[in-house]
Amino acid sequence: MLAEFDFRILASVDASLNGLAFILICSGLIAIKRGKVELHKKLMLSAVGVSALFLVCYLTYHLNVAPVKFVHGGWLAAVYWPLLISHIVLAAVQVPLILRTVYLGLKDRRAQHKKWAKVTTPIWLYVSITGVIVYLMLYHL
């Protein structure tokens, strides 16, 4: 059954999950700015779930599909490579940040949660949106 599955579709799934995570995080920020703590919690936990699902799909994809090479040069390469490198580095950095921020939020340690979220959120947003951009540049240029 798995032998018939085309794992290449997971690249599109990953980009969609990154985009959805971005939307959920932005929605969570709007909710908390409006004082809707429970909605914020649901949206951010949904973003965590979507990001975790992304990670599973990403690892599954890369364990089953040969790497796709970026073949463009010039200004496209000058944009792509720094974007990809910063995306990869911050993707690794964001995992413990997200876990710590969520833990503090769930323990209702709001002052600490807010301090960590001020660092975590922009990184998480950056990684989510650059994941979509890298996908578009790699697969649709």
pLDDT tens string 54-67: 999 999 999 999 99
Which CATH number does the domain housing residue 55 bear? 1.20.120.80
Q: What is the pLDDT of residue 97?
A: 98
Instruction: Answer whether 0.85 is exceeded by the pTM.
Output: yes
The total domain count for the chain is 1
Q: How confident is the model at residue 3 (pLDDT cuts 50, 70, 90)?
A: low
pLDDT top residue among 20 and 2: 20
Going by C-beta distance under 8 Å and a sequence separation of 6 or more, which residues neighbour residue 79? 137
- What gap in Å lies between CA 4 and CA 133, rounded to an integer? 29
Tokens found for residue 126: 């950056």
Tell me which residue range forms the domain holding 72: 2-140
Mean pLDDT, the chain, integer: 96
pLDDT tens string 108-122: 999 999 999 999 999
* pLDDT above 80 for 1: no
DSSP code per residue over the chain: -GGG--TTHHHHHHHHHHHHHHHHHHHHHHHHHTT-HHHHHHHHHHHHHHHHHHHHHHHHHHHHSPPPPP---HHHHHHHHHHHHHHHHHHHHHHHHHHHHHHHHHTT-HHHHHHHHHHHHHHHHHHHHHHHHHHHHHHH-
* pLDDT above 90 for 71: yes
pLDDT tens string 16-45: 999 999 999 999 999 999 999 999 999 999
Integer angstrom CA distances of residue 24 from 4, 5, 37, 133: 33, 29, 14, 18
